[in-house]
Amino acid sequence: MKNKNWQNIWVIGASSGIGAAIVQKFIAETDESHESNEAGQTTPRHITISARSHETLQKMALASPCISAVPCDVTAPASVDQAIDLIESEHGLPDLVIYCAGFYNPMPVDEFSRDIIAHHIAVNYQGAVNCLEPLLRKMRARGHGEIAITASVVGYRGLPKAGAYGPTKAALISLCETLREELTGSGVVMRVINPGFVKTPMTDQNDFNMPYLQTPEQAADFIYYGLRKNDDFEIAFPPVFVRQLKLARILPYRWYFKLIERMIQK
């Protein structure tokens, strides 16, 4: 694995699902690192966890002395700025930031709602933007840093009942693609995480069979090893499902819509 000396990690959206699972991966690594440090080999890192739920974060923070909980509402720029200022004053600017905050509500066309769409945009897209503005400014000034934004394979192409969720993930992918290129040479690495279906309270709302459904722990494994292994732009999983969807992405519309019709009829 590539040696990445992350001394300060910030996981946003850490109270449940993929975010909580990736925190557990870093806790395990931090504990191992602490044991190595006692032998004079490595330095333990600090992990900051953020979400809106203060009580849940506090319980998680008890798992390791290297964790601190900083509540943050990504939909409120002032809350984001306060969280970053607090983290920076106590532990320094994060070396790695993982954005896992997200909202999902299935929206079939007969329930099309501007309010539902607005809430998806506020959390999934604008929430990431609210975090990126101060982080990019500070990381670029410092000359290094890594940011990984969690989007979704749903952002590859339009899918039924994802009219509120899918466009926000497509927008995140596009934003990360744009920033990745513009940040070349700055020392700041922009990455996107595109999971397939992961069993969480959000996906439990789905009324269809979810192919290649994974646990949050399996998703966290893909993310952790993807982050550790290299600086590739995209971490997407599970591999078989990703290949199928990327193939569907290049199909002409007439073929793509026929494929979707068959999927719906199953």
Give me the pLDDT at residue 33, please.
60
Say whether pLDDT at 36 is over 60: no
Eight-state DSSP code of residue 65: T
Helix (H) or strand (E) holding 96: strand 96-99
SS3 (DSSP) at 68: strand
**34 pLDDT exceeds 70?**
no
* 88 contacts 142 by C-beta, under 8 angstroms: no
Q: SS3 string of 187-201?
A: CEEEEEEEECCECCC
257 pLDDT more than 60: yes
For the chain, what is the mean pLDDT? 91
Residue 187: count of CB within 10 angstroms of its CB? 13
Q: Which range, of 28-42, 118-132, 145-159, 240-254, averages the lowest pLDDT?
A: 28-42
Higher pLDDT, 258 or 95: 95
**Average pLDDT, integer, range 94-114:** 96
pLDDT over 50 (residue 4)? yes
Q: Is the pLDDT of residue 188 over 60?
A: yes
Nearest to 20 by CA among 215, 241, 211, 225: 215
> pLDDT tens across 143-174, in order?
999 999 999 999 999 988 999 999 999 999 99
Domains in the chain (CATH in brackets) are 8-265 (3.40.50.720)
Residue 88 clears pLDDT 60, i.e. is over it: yes
Section 78-102 average pLDDT = 97
Look at residue 156 in the predicted model and tell me its pLDDT: 96
pLDDT beyond 50 at 41 = no
